[in-house]
Amino acid sequence: MTQQPLAAPFAFDTEFDASGVVVHAAAFRPVKRAYAPLEVEALVAQARLEARNEALAEVASLQAMALSAIGEAAAAAVPVLRQVAQAHREQSGELALAAARVVAAAALDRFPAAPLQAALEALAQEIDASPRLVVRTGDLEDDARARIEQLCADAGFSGVVAFRDEPGMAAAAFQLEWADGRAAFDPAAAFARMSEALDSALAAEAGHAETLTPETSLEGRP
């Protein structure tokens, strides 16, 4: 005998109570297969709006990724920019010092007695009471001695001017000695001190220079 398959009982999805009120509504909803023209236009507009929102969201995501990449690149370039800025400061300082050395050398060649004259004028009150002033310089020819004596007289010194020949000194270099003190000038030593001061200033600036960041490096730009 062939066994018959069990028949599935009919399921009542919608249940009513004794008074006829729906207790449980059916989950089945018929698929709509026909749409009015206005409904079609509304669905098309909704689809366009959703597609536009998705495209805008994708564009915003790409913009965020691009800005993040730009920020990372700028942050990676900051140390290099700091090194370039420091190298520019050092080279500018060295160039300025070299130019000053050339100008000063030309001026001292043209006016070798100018530093001595400036020193005598600045020290006039200190050497005025001294009975004797010793001048050490590398150029002690007769005309040079006469110029120095005249400079001392112009500065108000009335004591004895004694000269000491120092052949190894530069043309504009000198040493002054009097009872209560001494003064000296050497162009090479002066420029060496200037170079040391420049190196110290650059080193201090390198240690306390403004920290470059992507925000500070782009300040003031549109």
Query: Residue range 76-99: average pLDDT?
Result: 87
Residues 6+ apart with CB under 8 A from 131: 159, 160, 179
Cα 29 to Cα 141: distance, rounded to the nearest angstrom? 124
**Is residue 166 left, alpha or beta, with left meaning phi > 0 and alpha meaning psi from -120 to 50?**
beta
Q: Worst-scoring range by mean pLDDT, 86-90, 123-127, 195-199, 207-211?
A: 207-211
Neighbours of 113 (CB within 10 A): 19
pLDDT of the residue at 57? 93
Percent over 90 (pLDDT), the chain:
13
Is residue 104 within 8 A of residue 171, CB to CB? The reply is no
- pLDDT of the residue at 221: 44
Burial of 157 (0-12, 13-18, 19+ CB in 10 A): buried
What is the percentage of the chain residues whose pLDDT exceeds 70? 79
CA distance 116 to 206: 37
Q: How confident is the model at residue 4 (pLDDT cuts 50, 70, 90)?
A: low
Average pLDDT, the chain: 80
pLDDT one-digit tens code per residue, 26-80: 666 666 777 788 888 888 899 999 999 999 999 999 999 999 999 888 888 888 8
**What pLDDT shows up at residue 93?**
86
The DSSP result for 203-216, as a single string, is HHHHHHPPPP-HHH
pLDDT digits (tens, 9 = 90+) for 147-179: 888 888 887 888 888 888 888 888 788 899 998
Say which CATH topology domain 107-201 has.
Dihydrodipicolinate Reductase; domain 2 (3.30.360)
For the chain, the domains span: 35-70, 107-201
Averaged pLDDT for residues 186-204: 86
Task: Name the pTM for this structure.
Answer: 0.51
45 or 138, greater pLDDT: 45
Residue 45: DSSP 8-state: H
